[in-house]
Amino acid sequence: MPTAHQPAVKGGAPYTWLAQRLRSVPASTYPATPRKGPELNASPIVAADELVRVFGEGGAEVRALDGVTVDFPKGAFTAIMGPSGSGKSTLMHCLAGLDLPTSGTVTVDGAELNGLDDSELTELRRDKVGFVFQFFNLLPVLSAEENILLPLSLAGRDADRGRFDQLVDAVGIRDRLSHRPAELSGGEQQRVAITRALVSAPAVLFADEPTGNLDSNSSEEVLALLRRAADEFGQTIVMVTHDAAAAATADRVLVLVDGKIVQDAAPKSADAVLDLMKQLA
Amino acid sequence: MASIALRNLWARKLRTFLTGFAVVLGVMMIAGTYVLTDTIERSFDAIFTESNQGVDAVVTSDAAVDTDDGNEPPIEEGVLDQVRKVDGVGAAVGIVADQQTAIVGSDGERVGGNGAPGLAFSVVPEEFDPLSYSEGGPPQADREVAIDAATAENEGFELGDLVTISGAGETRELELVGTATLGGSESLGGATIAVMTLPGAQAVTGKQGKFDAIRVAAADGTTPERLAADMTAALPDGIKAETGEQDTQSQKDDINEGIGFLKTALLVFAGVSLFVASFLIFNTFSITVAQRTREFAMLRTLGANRRQLIASVIGEALLIGLAASGVGLLAGIGFASVLEGLFKSLEIDLPKTGTVVEARTVIVSLVVGTGLTLLSALGPALRATRVPPVQGLREGAVLATPKEGRIRAAIGAVLAGAGIGVMAIGLFGVFGGATALGLGAVAVFLGVALLSPKLVPPLAALVGRPLERVRGVPARIAHENSVRNPGRTASTAAALMIGLALVSFVAIFAAGLKGSIDDAIEESISADLFLANTDGFSDIPSGSADEVAGVEGVAAASLLRYTQYGVVDGTDDSDGDSTGSMTLIHPETAAGALTLDWKDGSQDLLTEMGPEDAVLDEKHADEEGLEVGDAFPVITASGEKLTYTVTGTFEDKTDFIGDYAASDANAEAYGEELTATNVLIDLDDDADADKVRGEIEGVVEAGFPTVVVQNQQELKDSIGAELDQLLGGIYGLLFLAVIVSLFGIVNTLALSIYERTRELGLLRAVGTSRRQVRQIVRYEAVITALIGAVLGSVLGVVFAILISRPLADEGFTLTIPWVTLVVLLILAAVAGVLAAIAPARRASRIDTLEALSYE
């Protein structure tokens, strides 16, 4: 159920240049360019209905998802939180078409995932979904630029050079483009990964613990970048995290426990998120 | 630690299987070779032992020179009376035992005839008879014949049928009255046997009034040794007497020499396969041990010492080596029949009485297989365990430092250079010969393999770039994957390189050989048509020339006899011990059919050649310091000494003539009066070539079933076909080495995929289709295979150039068969695709979620 919420207003001087850059990207290249966060009555870009995911059988049966119903409106930046084993990663995997639920349905940008075969799911991930993972985001044998263009190349499509250039400048990795991932810092690697996830203008960007492996400076940079993508691109983002500060960057925080959504709120700060978590304990 | 080794093996079944399989293939060839050659040897032993059953001594002529056709000059009938007068002789019988008498099959073509002899025997009293008759019995009359049971069965001959027997003397149609076996062997290695009465056999073989041998049984109380000694003393010069055992032994020795060559050749191929297998084993252990560096480091922090870790890896190798060698040994016993089938397809029939597995076969197979596995695993084991515990616990411990790589490359370059040097030493006959060549080649292969990590990136770019242009990202990733661990790709490719280097070398060498034979025929022979043996190399009856000369339209039919002479070096004992080749020509007709490249003299010398004249190959003349007008002595097969006067010299690049050409007036002395290598036919200028040929064919078919009529092109083609057949056999044996190296590609890919599970998961997550994942793996295999193929072809060309150097004097012109090389490259790429099938499937089925999960 979409909840009424306000986008957390962040930003300030260090990000103004980024906003300007993003604004100069031609509007026609984006699915939507709302400036003021998600519209309340926007149709959901990703929706899950009564999702159940069971691992194992018999006595060893684990219900990782136990009837999750949730919508993600266009342009919303949502964080999914929860303790280890709560099912947050499984939820993301099911939403992204990486895993198939035992029962229930997932719809991404109008397509119901249940009926899709492996190659259709692959195409969906390639064309409509962007991914940012905690580790192993980049192919070590390809340069940063090649990594960014990978999904497009795989689809046999040419990149929109204008969008590519502007994203690269916005993210600030132009001088790192010819480098291999091993030659980049952790923060740079994640920025490259975000660029890759954005370059094909996906319907939704999934980020799985994107800052889990970073120092606090790099973390902030990456979160700011995601925030900007949501604000300036209207990019729908679903981020799995266990870090309260990261979750506070989002418009909305879902908390999962034992495969069920137990909280759906819009905390405005990290402290508010922590309070939310404390209520669970 | 032993249980850790065992568990590792079990946990990585596929890897264990693939590594073991390489050893199995190599050991299989070794065991198969031994089993096959031992079986053949034992069969021949049985044949020869049985042939001399009841024979205490054998009297034959004492051939002064070993001739290439194995025929010894016959002895005069009168010797039999002399033998009978010797004290201690119980019974003596003169026999015909000819090796060039063909049985004509039901299709009108001679039976067998691919180098295996067509034996003709005269009937002997039962006490001397080695044959066991399965049907009927020995012939009683001159119009009757008995043949070997195998031929009768294969050709569908039954008792009472008329069978055509064709020898150097006559061709006769005889009634089949018996079928027989010799030495209990079903097959005689392609040889046929025709048994006739003594007068019949003498007439057919052209040995009227002569025997090939006299078989003697000792009287009671006389030992064979005594008998042989007494007879030798009593008989004239040029006749020798041996005990039956000695005779059997010398026959065995002769055949074992031939089998020994076969055995060596097969073992060389087995060695090649094992050599290739050792690359695979080395590579597999390098990769898996590197993957387990962290595990080793963990074990070390728990208190395991280096020796224990090495013992664990070596234990693993020992188990794989032993098990695989055992399986290889068993497979080899089966493989012996595959080899036999290969030879059969080359129309080389080998005798077989029962499979022989000697203890030596078992020991060599197990020791070599296990030893090689241990040796290949030792390096990686030492290297991996040298990593300090702390470094192993860090993510992605790197084992090879750049410095280490440079040292390796330097050693490789030195080794390759030294290898080429050693090959040259062997080639130019300084010392070592074939052994030096082989060792040199091994050094070159190892050197290039060590050097190749440096060669992989540029070669991968050479192959990968165009592929990227056509195939996009999957090819790009494949290219990058192939160079991220150059050492691994290098040793995988090097394994394929070895097989392909040998294949391309053989192809280049064969093309050159064929070309130079064609040139020789074109340059030296001006005849319109030839008579040759249907098998392409045995002799034909010399009587065919007279018959053909009578055909209208034939200007001349000139006999050509390529044979051996004995070198006279001054001491009577050793005269004839070393031999050379020469050609007997027919002076009256030779000039029209044979054109020599004269250095001193002209074609007239052929026409005017007297019995004591000889024209010399310029090279031979130079070596011997002979000039026109000089005289030189030779000894012939019959022991006669001839002195020739040099009347001219000619250049003979391809060694078509041999050391010298002389008149066939002395053919009898050379033991060649009844046979010839070829008959060169010169037609009248105004003759209707097709019509005359038809008539010649009629004459030949009627009287000489072992003879075929060919024109120049057909002669070239038939020689070419023989070469191709030989090539086919060699390719067949090298194929095994190539197969082993393909398993290397499979293995390396499988292990790399295991290492890159996360990457593949990422690729799948961001939208790489299964098909694209398969492409990535497939292209990496193709790139690896092509690197091996390029290196192999280059080495093949280098070897061919190197080996053709000393042959250049003999007219060997090196032609590089580009088409063949390109075909090889394409085949290598296809092989890469095939090798990638299973790993690619595995990669495309990687569970994306599992691959991306963080432990």
Please tell me whether residues B486 and B593 are part of one structural domain. no
Domain span at A241 = 40-280
pLDDT at B349: 64
Assess B767–A contact: CB distance below 8 Å, yes or no.
yes
State how far residue A199 is from chain B, nearest Cα, in angstroms.
12
Does a structural domain hold residue B328? Answer: no
- B139 burial via Cβ count (<10 Å: 0-12, 13-18, 19+): buried
Q: Which two tokens stand for residue B199?
A: 């007068």
Specify the pLDDT at position A1.
39
Tell me if B692 is assigned to some domain.
yes
Q: How much is the pLDDT for A3?
A: 40
Report the C-alpha gap between B197 and B141 in whole angstroms: 6
Best residue in A95, A121, A141, A204 for a mutation probing chain B (most B CBs within 10 Å): A141
CA distance B792 to chain A (A): 27
Three-state SS for chain A is CCCCCCCCCCCCHHHHHHHHHHHCCCHHHCCCCCCCCCCCCCCEEEEEEEEEEEECCHHHCEEEEEEEEEEEECCCEEEEECCCCCCHHHHHHHHCCCCCCCEEEEEECCEEHHHCCHHHHHHHHHHHEEEECCCCCCCCCCCHHHHHHHHHHHCCCCCCHHHHHHHHHHHCCHHHCCCCHHHCCHHHHHHHHHHHHHHCCCCEEEEECCCCCCCHHHHHHHHHHHHHHHHHHCCEEEEECCCHHHHHCCCEEEEEECCEEEEEECCCCHHHHHHHHHHHC
Instruction: Identify whether the C-beta of residue B293 lies closer than 8 Å to the C-beta of residue B392.
Output: yes
Which residues are paired to A207 by β-bridges? A132, A239
- Asked if the Cβ–Cβ distance from B768 to A118 is below 8 Å, we say no
Closest-CA residue of chain B to A158: B472
Q: Which amino acid is at B615?
A: V
Dihedral angle over CA of B465, B468, B469, B470, nearest 10: 130
* Least confidently predicted of A139-148, B245-254, B386-395: B386-395
- From A137's Cα to the closest Cα of chain B, the distance in A is 7
Instruction: Measure B748 CA to nearest chain A CA, in Å.
Output: 18
The answer as to whether A20 is a domain residue is no
**B761 contact A CB<8A:** yes
Q: Which chain A residues are within 8 Å of B852, Cβ to Cβ? A: 98, 133, 136
Residue B524 confidence (pLDDT) above 60: yes
- What pLDDT score does B279 carry? 84
Mean pLDDT across the stretch A171-184?
89
CA–CA distance, B142 with B790 (Å, rounded to integer): 66
SS3 B712: helix
> Does the pLDDT value for residue B416 go beyond 50?
yes
CB–CB of B767 and A155 under 8 A? Answer: yes
Whether ipTM > 0.90 holds is no
Task: Please tell me the distance from the alpha carbon of residue B499 to that of residue B22, in angstroms, as a whole number.
Answer: 14
Parallel, antiparallel, or unpaired: how do β-strands B540-541 and B554-567 relate?
unpaired
Domain holding A58: CATH number?
A: 3.40.50.300
Which of B476, B765, B768 shows the shortest C-beta gap to A98? B765
- Nearest CA distance, A178 vs chain B (angstrom): 14
Nearest CA in chain B to A137: B762
In terms of Cα–Cα distance, which of B633, B613, B640 is closest to B569?
B633
Quote the CA–CA distance of B123 and B121 in Å, as a whole number.
Answer: 6
Distances (CA, A) of A263 to A79, A197, A256, A260: 11, 28, 7, 9
Average pLDDT over all residues of chain B: 84
Is the pLDDT assigned to residue B311 strictly greater than 60?
A: yes
Q: What is the mean pLDDT of residues B712-732?
A: 83
Percent of chain B's residues with pLDDT above 90: 17
Decide if A55 touches B, using CB distance below 8 A.
no
- Of B647, B671, B705, the one marking the end of a domain is B705
Higher pLDDT, A2 or B819: B819
A-B C-beta contacts closer than 8 Å? 73
Structural domains counted in chain A: 1
- How confident is the model over A13-66, as pLDDT tens digits? 334 444 444 444 443 333 333 334 444 445 788 999 999 999 888 777 888 899
Rounded CA separation B731/B733 (Å): 5
Looking at the complex, does the CB of residue A72 fall below 8 Å from at least one CB of chain B?
no
Average the pLDDT over B832-845 and give the result: 90
For residues B730 and B649, state if they share a domain: no
Q: Which residues of A touch B854 (CB under 8 A)?
A: 134-135
Structural domain span for residue B478: 454-524+715-855
Instruction: Let me know how long chain A is.
Output: 281
Contacts of A153 in chain B (CB under 8 A): 472-473, 476
And the tokens for B63?
Answer: 């051939």
Residue B562 lies in a domain: yes
For residue B109, the one-letter residue type is: E
- Chain B residue numbers touching A141 (CB-CB < 8 A): 477, 480-481, 484
Residue A238 binned pLDDT confidence (cut-offs 50, 70, 90): very high
Task: Write out the two tokens for A261.
Answer: 């959504």
Cβ separation A150–B854 shorter than 8 A: no
Contacts of B848 in chain A (CB under 8 A): 98
Torsions phi, psi for A71 (to 5 deg): -115, 150
Among partner residues B473, B766, B770, which is closest to A125 by beta-carbon distance?
B766
The answer as to whether B263 is a domain residue is: no
For the residues B601-627, what does the mean pLDDT come to? 90
Q: Based on the domain organization, do B681 and B804 belong to the same domain?
A: no
Instruction: Report the pLDDT value the prediction gives residue B791, as an integer from 0 to 100.
Output: 92
pLDDT in tens, B28-66: 888 988 888 888 888 778 878 877 777 888 888 877 666
Residue B220 and residue B87 share a domain:
yes
Cβ contact A139–B762 (<8 Å): yes
Do B111 and B242 belong to one domain? Answer: yes
Asked if residue B203 belongs to a domain, the reply is: yes
Task: Tell me which chain A residue has its CA closest to the CA of residue B474.
Answer: A154
Comparing A35-44, A168-177, B185-194, B821-830, the range with the smallest average pLDDT is A35-44
Residues B134 and B87 in one domain: yes
For residue B744, pLDDT beyond 90: no
- In this prediction the pTM is 0.76
Note whether residue A10 is domain-resident.
no
| Same domain? B182 vs B239 | yes
Residues of A in Cβ contact (< 8 Å) with B765 = 96, 98, 125, 131, 133
Final residue in a domain of this structure, among B247, B270, B299: B247
User: What are the pLDDT digits (tens) for B662-673?
Assistant: 999 988 888 888
Query: Does A9 score more than 80 pLDDT?
Result: no
B505-B508-B509 Cα angle (round to 5): 80
Q: Same domain, yes or no, for B68 and B151?
A: yes
**Is B643 strand, coil or helix?**
strand
Of all residues in chain A, the percent with pLDDT exceeding 90 is 16
3-state DSSP assignment of residue B530: strand
pLDDT for position B790: 92
pLDDT band for position A100 (50/70/90)? Answer: confident
Cα-trace Rg, chain A: 18
Q: What does the pLDDT read at residue B586? A: 92
- Does A35 fall in a domain? no
* Whole-angstrom distance, CA of residue B812 vs CA of residue B440: 22
Q: Do B468 and B569 sit in the same domain of this protein?
A: no
Alpha helices per DSSP H over B630-756: 689-703, 712-755
Question: Within the 483-502 window of chain B, which residues sit less than 8 Å (CB to CB) from chain A?
Answer: 484
B513 phi/psi in degrees, rounded to 5? -60, -45
Q: What is the mean pLDDT of residues A166-193?
A: 89
Q: Residues 457-476, chain B: which have Cβ within 8 Å of A?
A: 472-473, 476
Q: Are residues B562 and B650 in the same domain?
A: yes
Kindly state whether residues B687 and B727 are assigned to the same domain.
no
- pLDDT band, very low/low/confident/very high, at B481 (cuts 50, 70, 90): confident
CB contact under 8 A, B764 and A122: yes
In a domain, B375, yes or no: no
Give how many domains chain B has, as a whole number. Answer: 3
Report CA-CA distances (Å) from B568 to A53, B68, B633: 97, 19, 6
Chain A residue closest to B767 (CA)? A126
Residue contact A137–B762, C-beta within 8 A: yes
Residue A23 in any domain: the answer is no
Residues of B within 8 A of A93 (CB-CB) are 849
Q: Where are the beta strands (DSSP E) in B473-539?
A: 529-533
Phi, psi for residue A3 in degrees, rounded to 5: -110, 145
pLDDT at B396: 47
Q: What is the pLDDT of residues B189-221, one digit of tens each?
A: 778 899 999 999 999 988 888 898 899 988 888
- The nearest alpha carbon in chain B to A202 belongs to B766
**A194 within a domain of the structure (yes/no):** yes
Flag if A156 and B472 touch (Cβ within 8 Å).
Answer: yes
Question: Are B467 and B576 part of one and the same domain?
Answer: no
The whole-number pLDDT of residue B842 equals: 87
Q: Which residues of A touch B768 (CB under 8 A)?
A: 122, 126, 154
What's the pLDDT at B140? 93
Task: Using the 3D structure, point to which of B705, B729, B755 is the last residue of a domain.
Answer: B705
> Is the model's pLDDT at B15 over the cut of 80?
no
Interface membership of A115 toward B (CB under 8 Å): no
